[in-house]
Amino acid sequence: MKKYIYLIALTLFISFQVQAQKGEKSVNQVLTVFPYQHVSEVTDALTTMGTWKSAEWKVLFKMLDDDSLKLKATYALNAYVNIVSLETAKKVKTVQLLKKQLKKASSNYASTFINAQIGLLSAESEVTTKLQSLPSIPKVAANIEMQQNSTQKLLQLQDQMDKVKVNGNDFQKKSILIQAGKIPTIGAFAFVSQFLGEAGVQKEAALIITRLALANNLIGEIGGPMVRQALEQALPLIRGEDSALLVPKLKAQLKKIPYDYGFVSLFNGKDLTEWKGLVKNPIARGKMSEADLATAQQKVNESIKTDWVIKDGLLVFTGHGDNLCTEKQYGDMEMFVDWKITEKGDAGIYLRGTPQVQIWDTSRREVGAQVGSGGLYNNQKNISKPLLVADNKIGEWNTFHIIMKGDKVTVYLNGILVTDNVSLENYWDRKLPLFTKEQIELQAHGTYVAYRNIYIREIPTPNNIKTNLTETEKQEGFIQLYDGTNMDHWMGNFSGYLSKDGAIEVNPSSKGGGNLYTKEEYSDFIYRFEFQLTPGANNGIGIHAPLEGDAAYVGMEIQVLDSEHPMYANLKPYQYHGSVYGIVPAKRGFLKPIGEWNQEEIMIQGSKIKVTLNGTVITEADLKEATKNGTMDHNEHPGLKNTTGHIGFLGHGDVVRFKNIRIKKLGK
């Protein structure tokens, strides 16, 4: 009997050894791609890691305790954490795995590294626990009640960061940033972005905002120059095992970020750029001459320099003076702003030059302040009071999230809905509708108020995206081919081109981009349009083109190209923006910076062609003369003989946006 037991035990032992060897071999094969990775290889490796059982994970974690093996295991595990951080279900499962293995780690290196990975994924991390044990800094995240919303969490994290800046260290800053990275809002994104230039924490900040943007689709929701600038600043900071996965994903997403209608910052923390003083009210200003208004504006702009000051990165009203106004006027918009008042404080936010979203000390019962802030105080017919009191204590920071569409206003105070789609009345003349577009104002009401984190985005609507012909263009006989609202004059690859926010945009998810053509054919004409490039983008304007074949040859193509991008350093002269492709070169140096809108006009009459970019003629030639001794690219261009054809966008899959497209036929 003992003999049989011995044989069974031996068999099991050998089986376990074989399985262990197989598991070890499998793990080693996966880890061969680390740390020097190609994207395709590392993607396959991480997919395999996602199927691992406990035996394989045990091998990897054991390697972390071995100085001779820990490098590959470190890179692999960090890369795996990066990718699962984008998926909630896998993130939770991985945290459980890491916590279980943390207890088994035998080396300080393994414990520290596993702990750091938990910190990247879990709000219940050991990192936070360690931070709480430091006596010089109050607890950061664990003292935030679970029932409090993300807006309150972010306010508290910002308060903690203010204290850490004075007495803390980089470890504490990183811990706060990690917690902020779990809040999928524009406020959290902007907060973390502030640390991209701080050497001790900039790598962590870069990873956090990248994960925020990718995991929560914030790019699509909060695009625009502010987001793009932060992510472009983050790109070079993402190195090593992080870069192989996150950088390609981020680069792909960056191409999709719109430059328009995204959030911008209205306060830079340094000066009053974007702001001006108050001159009368909207109706009175409208009656002033340009000269009188300019004189009055110059005068109040001087006075606000003492009335509104910048202190410790905050925009502060000193208690005397008048309202501070945005230089730009806004119609439909979405706005975030933090504010703080002192005892007996009274202030507000004017929308479209009209009072106001109320701010006040709720203890001032004598004026009705007990109802709370965030109501439309000056309404008479429509609701003026907030739905409930959501103010934080006097001296603490509060956050407004204001959404305005038409005359309807919605206000969230500290993450709580207090005004729900209520019409704001025209205080200046209640017989008139609210102004469609006007300045935003920070009210000066005789008491201290401080502001920070002021972000705004314009909301595209048919009223503000539609373009119209000028009176001169109407008289000259131009017609619109695209006014920002429909694509009725076009045919072709509608999956590759979308009408979005007032522009025809190449759809980056559609392979190749393809061609979009006018329904009508044109012979001699003047064609005007605006275009916006993204880095390295390539497109073209087809002329006299049939619907089949390569329009650059069976018709002709005017280049639309970010030809100053480094990737195009070796272009031929006839390939630069504005060139007649393969035929006539264009002058260089007249494209606007990437993200700005360019204005272009193409005129063709008989064999003569002229391209004007932003007011400068960059291409002008007689095509017959230019090709009498052959073409510059030495290729056949039969389309040069065409006298009529379609106009088209010739896409290569890169994001380019076109708008305000109009045409005038020339000839008899």
The 10 Å CB-count burial string (b at 16+, else e) for 402-430 is bbbeebbbbbbbbbbbbbeebebbbbbee
Average pLDDT over residues 446-471: 91
Do 173 and 279 have their domain in common?
A: no
Do 227 and 159 have their domain in common?
A: yes
6 within domain boundaries: no
pLDDT for residue 119 is more than 90? no
**What integer pLDDT is reported at residue 8 of this predicted model?**
47
**What integer pLDDT is reported at residue 35 of this predicted model?**
59
Q: SS3 of 437, please?
A: coil
Per residue in 146-203, pLDDT tens?
Answer: 334 789 999 999 999 999 888 878 889 998 999 898 888 889 999 999 999 999 999 9
- Cα–Cα distance between 128 and 124 in angstroms, integer? 7
**What integer pLDDT is reported at residue 222 of this predicted model?**
60
- The answer to whether the bond into 532 is cis (omega within 30° of 0) is no
Do 444 and 518 have their domain in common?
A: no
Do 423 and 524 have their domain in common?
A: no
Backbone angles phi, psi at 576, to 5 degrees: -70, 160
**Domain that residue 274 falls in:** 265-461
Task: Give residue 330's pLDDT band: very low, low, confident or very high (50, 70, 90).
Answer: very high
CA-nearest of 604, 613, 318 to 447 is: 318
Do 537 and 398 have their domain in common?
A: no
Do 378 and 237 have their domain in common?
A: no
Do 318 and 434 have their domain in common?
A: yes
pLDDT for residue 646 is more than 70? yes
pLDDT for residue 123 is more than 80? no
Report the CATH number that the domain containing residue 502 is assigned in CATH: 2.60.120.560
- Cα–Cα distance between 572 and 579 in angstroms, integer? 10
Task: Give residue 265's pLDDT band: very low, low, confident or very high (50, 70, 90).
Answer: very high
**What integer pLDDT is reported at residue 397 of this predicted model?**
96
Q: Which tokens sit at 130?
A: 């360690």
661 within domain boundaries: yes
Of 420, 440, 461, which residue is a domain's last? 461
Do 453 and 353 have their domain in common?
A: yes
Does the CA dihedral 151-152-157-159 come out positive or negative?
positive
**What integer pLDDT is reported at residue 448 of this predicted model?**
94
**What integer pLDDT is reported at residue 45 of this predicted model?**
82
Q: Which residue has the higher pLDDT, 62 or 88?
A: 62
10 within domain boundaries: no
The sheet that has 556-561: what strands, in order across it?
490-492, 514-518, 646-651, 538-545, 556-561
Per residue in 94-113, pLDDT tens?
Answer: 888 898 888 888 888 888 88
Burial class (CB in 10 A: 0-12, 13-18, 19+), 566: exposed
Per residue in 524-548, pLDDT tens?
Answer: 999 999 999 988 999 999 999 999 9
Per residue in 8-46, pLDDT tens?
Answer: 444 444 444 444 454 466 788 888 777 555 556 777 888
652 within domain boundaries: yes
**What integer pLDDT is reported at residue 12 of this predicted model?**
42
The helix-helix angle for 54-64 and 70-84 (nearest 10°) equals 130
- Cα–Cα distance between 41 and 153 in angstroms, integer? 39
Do 154 and 285 have their domain in common?
A: no
Do 601 and 625 have their domain in common?
A: yes
**What integer pLDDT is reported at residue 137 of this predicted model?**
32
Instruction: Decide if 350 contacts 359 (C-beta within 8 A).
Output: no
8 within domain boundaries: no
Q: Which residue has the higher pLDDT, 579 or 242?
A: 579
pLDDT for residue 295 is more than 60? yes
Do 306 and 440 have their domain in common?
A: yes
- Cα–Cα distance between 601 and 527 in angstroms, integer? 6
Radius of gyration of the chain (CA): 31
**What integer pLDDT is reported at residue 46 of this predicted model?**
82
Of 410, 442, 461, which residue is a domain's last? 461
Which runs of consecutive H residues, i.e. helices, occur in 438-542? 462-465, 471-476
Contacts of 570 (CB under 8 A, 6+ apart): none
1 within domain boundaries: no
**What integer pLDDT is reported at residue 228 of this predicted model?**
87
Within 10 angstroms of residue 46's Cβ, the number of other Cβ atoms is 20
Which of 245-254, 350-359, 459-468 has the weakest average pLDDT? 245-254
337 within domain boundaries: yes
Quick one: DSSP state of residue 542? E
Q: Which contiguous run of DSSP H or E holds residue 412?
A: strand 408-413
**What integer pLDDT is reported at residue 600 of this predicted model?**
98
The 10 Å CB-count burial string (b at 16+, else e) for 181-212 is bbbbbbbbbbbbbbbbeeeebebbbbbbbbbb
Amino acid at 470: T
Task: Give residue 140's pLDDT band: very low, low, confident or very high (50, 70, 90).
Answer: very low
- Cα–Cα distance between 648 and 668 in angstroms, integer? 24
- Cα–Cα distance between 238 and 210 in angstroms, integer? 9
- Cα–Cα distance between 140 and 40 in angstroms, integer? 40
Which of 68-82, 197-211, 258-272, 380-394 has the weakest average pLDDT? 68-82
* Residue the block writes with tokens 């059982």: 53
What's the 3-state SS for 262-292?
A: CCEECCCCCCCCCEEECCCCHHHHHCCCHHH
- Contacts of residues 63-67 at CB distance under 8 Å and 24 or more positions apart, as own/partner, are 63/27, 64/105, 64/107, 64/109, 64/110, 64/113, 64/114, 65/105, 65/106, 65/107, 65/109, 65/110, 67/109
**What integer pLDDT is reported at residue 277 of this predicted model?**
96
Average pLDDT over residues 498-512: 80
**What is the chain's mean pLDDT, rounded?**
86
Q: Which residue has the higher pLDDT, 603 or 54?
A: 603
The helix-helix angle for 170-180 and 126-133 (nearest 10°) equals 130
79 within domain boundaries: yes
Q: What percent of the chain has pLDDT over 90?
A: 60
Question: Given the DSSP bridges, would you call strands 398-405 and 408-413 parallel, antiparallel or unpaired?
Answer: antiparallel
Do 422 and 550 have their domain in common?
A: no
Instruction: Decide if 481 contacts 498 (C-beta within 8 A).
Output: no
Average pLDDT over residues 300-322: 92
- The answer to whether the bond into 35 is cis (omega within 30° of 0) is yes
Q: SS3 of 589, please?
A: coil
Which of 8-22, 114-128, 441-455, 645-659 has the weakest average pLDDT? 8-22
Domain count, the chain: 3
Of 461, 484, 509, which residue is a domain's last? 461
